[in-house]
Chains A and B, each alone.
Chain A
Amino acid sequence: MAIAQIRQYLLLCLVLLFAITGCGQKKSTRTTNGKIEIEVAVFQGGYGLDFFEKAAREYEKLHPNIRIRVWGNPRIWEQLRTRFVAGDVPDLCWPGWGMDTWALVYDGKVMEMDKYLNQKAYDQDIKWKDTFLPDLLEKGKYKGHYYILPFNNNVFGWWYNVGLFKKHGWKPPKTYEELLKLCEQIKKTGIAPITYQGKYPAYMIRGFLIPWAISAGGLQAFEDAQKLKPGAWKSAAFLKAARMIAELRDKGYFQKGAMGMDHTGAQMEFLLGRAAMIPCGTWLRSEMQKQIPPGFRMAYFNPPVLANGKGDPSITQSSAETWIVPKDAKHPEIGADFFRFMTSLKMAKKFVQEKQTLMSIKGSDQTQLPPDLILPARYLRNAKATWDAEFSDWYKAMNKEIEAAVAALLSGEISPEECCERMERAAEETRNDPSIPKH
């Protein structure tokens, strides 16, 4: 009797197993019918996916034998990571800030783009390579070859609430000394002078620490730090910057509770007029699109510098979002070609207008710029030099430590001296670690 029951149970199991395997038939998404299909994986952030999807449709019209599948989500690197290990990769991708793209380069997982860059540009009579802004293109070079390509170009600085300033007769400060006076005035009205995206110290590093270090010690002070020169992170320039942060903190000019806010939270505070100024990149409007109150106006300005600082006040931060073609892609040449299409002058200008940010293509700003972009574009054009916190991509461990140190400084846990000590120690560890490739 028991045997019969066991048989029944086994039969049931078998049936279920077949049922599952039946469901295991993966619906094939790569229908060919004579066409070549490529996969484009995109980080879905403040700019959304629609531009890339529209671009794909346009490209398909021009190349009827190609189909492009564009997909993405805000944490796309989580899925891409395992796929890179298995060698099953998309043909073009924007891996996003959560992916260690340089690690992919070091391990030979990224296609060398030299030969594609030497092709003619899509809608101009020059090499594709020459359509890019040179410093942005150079950033993606490793051991003399091009790997990581820039797409859109963000300018990072401070933003202020135009309506609020006008109402009180305030002016955006050009110098740090003016800033202090202004903050005191703002504080009296009950509004927080400055807020920041506490959960992501990257904002505070780019908005406070480095601009002020450059102002105090010149661009060299920062370049030395990036090159991991001994003592660079606790140099007089960085110490001065840390002290400036501490001063603002101690005078209560930062919004209470900012440390616990994430980027959209702090930015909402700014939009609601509860804080007067905030550091952010040119993606601000695009990102907060849905939440901007009617009639709200904001304007960009470079972080206020020391009145008699060593660094040139026109120095601006500019960084690019980066794309790669994976080495193991099935159709890398089509992936590269689609990217070449998207970086054509026409498409670049389109991106500038629709997404209200700058592009890494020369001349892409010669178009009807959205109002918020006019000032950043002007600053960028007039900048004697630009900088970018590249170390945050090169040396991830050191970057984390620096973020922790700056966060601790802002929350009042440590002194400026201790902050610089911590940063220097992190740099030293990275410098002495032979397994980390240096730039």
Chain B
Amino acid sequence: MPPIKRDRVTAIVIFLAPGLVLYCIFFILPMAQAFYVALFRWRGVSMDKVFVGFENFRKLFTGDPIFWQCLCHNLEFLGVSFVVVIPLALFFANALSSRIRGAGIYRGIFLFPNVISVVAVAALWSFVYHPTFGILNSLLKALGLGHLATGWLGEPRYALLCVIATSIWYSLGFYIVLLLAGIRSIPTSYYEASALDGATPWQSFRYVTIPLVWEILKIAVIYLIIHTLNIFGLVWVMTEGGPSYHTETLLTYLYRQAFVQSNFGYATALGVVVFVIILGVSLVAGRLMRREVVEY
């Protein structure tokens, strides 16, 4: 017995060590140092820092209305994305897992936006929404709805929704592929059995597919939460948080504070808060989605 146990422990160490060591030195360590900076007032252009304790956090929660605006925008991002992406991704993944004609081609097309650089996507969609030669306005005019044409990304009411739409276009393929991989892991014997039992497609979807991809679904949801609360590149290139803060998100605000307004300490404090928020929301989501792991 003992030799096996030692063998097991060694195995665990060997498996875990390389990843853990690399991760700690090059990821955790700099991040921890960054968090330490949150206790300072620092311009970020030299090494001069002034210790201010929790002053940055106090100012963030009590004296900064923009922080709360950003939070609302991120939550809106999360809400809309969640309602649109998860059901659609499930639908498409399910559709593509069956022997439907051209499934491979569809999968290829759907995933493609996600492999393009975010910068390129943002640039492309800025032109889609362009007031004069953008596709959207041209389309509206062609359909006789020209009066709806406007400067989308410059409109306080529509700007955020436009950015969210682009984000969904960009990322849906990712979730489809993820869920597809999960569905593909389900042995076909299960489907055969349920078909023999007379189940409709909907029933086999609900009682066979969903429970068996629950783990993957949970991953998808948590990834969505993290992605939408962490959204930055797309927003920054499309609107830079404008017009007048209407598309400002937590991270664009953080970036602005750190690199534009030289408030590095304050920005890092915001970073700590963002991290805590994401952690909290993910834990809640994970708990809500907790189920017995169905093994077969």
Q: Which residues of A contact B (CB under 8 A)?
A: 6, 78, 81, 84-85, 98, 100, 103-104, 106-109, 198-199, 256-261, 265, 268-269, 274, 396-397, 400, 403-405, 407-408, 411, 413, 435
Evaluate contact between A260 and B46: CB separation under 8 angstroms: no
Q: Judging by beta carbons under 8 Å apart, are A198 and B154 in contact?
A: yes
- Once A258-B151, A435-B41 are accepted as A-B contacts, the answer to whether A109 and B243 lie under 8 Å apart by CB is no
The answer to whether residues A198 and B45 also contact, given A256-B150, A265-B130 and a CB cut-off of 8 A, is no
Q: Complex: how many Å from CA A78 to CA B255?
A: 12
Q: Which of B141-189 contact A (CB under 8 A)?
A: 149-156
- Known contacts A81-B259, A408-B244, A413-B244: A259-B154 contact under CB 8 Å: yes
Q: Which residue of A lies closest to B263 (CB)?
A: A397
CA distance A274 to B244 in the complex (A): 26
B48 close to chain A: CB less than 8 A: yes
Known A261-B154, A411-B156; contact A400-B44, beta-carbon cutoff 8 A: no
Interface size of B by CB at 8 A reads: 33
Shortest CB–CB separation between residue B141 and chain A, in angstroms? 13
Tell whether B245 is near chain A: CB-to-CB under 8 Å.
Answer: yes
How many Å lie between the Cα of A111 and that of B266 in the bound state? 27
Please report whether the interface of chain B is mostly helix, strand, loop or mixed according to DSSP.
loop
Bound CA–CA A198/B244 (angstroms): 11
Q: Mark B266-278, 1 if CB is under 8 A from A, else 0.
A: 0000000000000
Interface of A is mostly: helix
In the complex, the answer to whether A85 meets B47 with C-beta atoms within 8 Å is yes
Contact B154 A396 (CB under 8 A): no
On whether the beta carbons of A103 and B154 are closer than 8 Å, the reply is no
**A260, B152: Cβ atoms under 8 Å?**
yes
Interface residue? B261 (CB, 8 A): yes
With A98-B260, A257-B132 in contact, do A84 and B155 touch (Cβ < 8 Å)?
Answer: no
* Chain B residues with CB below 8 A from A258, complex form: 131, 151, 154
Q: With the chains together, A84 CA to B261 CA distance in Å?
A: 16
Contact A107 B43 (CB under 8 A): yes
* Chain A positions within 8 Å of B48 at CB level: 107-108
Q: Which residues of A contact B151 (CB under 8 A)?
A: 198, 256-261
Q: Are A198 and B243 in contact (CB under 8 A)?
A: yes
**Distance in angstroms between the alpha carbons of A308 and B134 in the assembled complex:** 43
Chain A hits for B232, CB < 8 A: none
Instruction: Kindly state the separation between the CA atoms of A374 and B88 in the bound complex, as whole angstroms.
Output: 61
B256 within 8 A of A: yes
User: Which of B41, B149, B244, B260 touches A405 (beta carbons < 8 Å)?
Assistant: B244
Q: How far is the CA of A260 from the CA of B240 in the complex (A)?
A: 12
Which residue of chain B has its CB nearest to the CB of A395? Answer: B261
| Chain A hits for B150, CB < 8 A | 256-257, 260
Beta-carbon contact of A260 and B129 below 8 Å = yes
Please, how many angstroms separate the alpha-carbon atoms of A413 and B45 in the complex? 36
- Nearest neighbor of B239 in chain A, beta-carbon distance: A199
Residue of A nearest to B162 (CB): A260
User: Given A261-B151, A261-B154, A413-B244 in contact, is the A396-B131 Cβ separation under 8 Å?
Assistant: no
The reply on B138 being an interface residue by CB < 8 A is no
Complex: how many Å from CA A256 to CA B146? 13
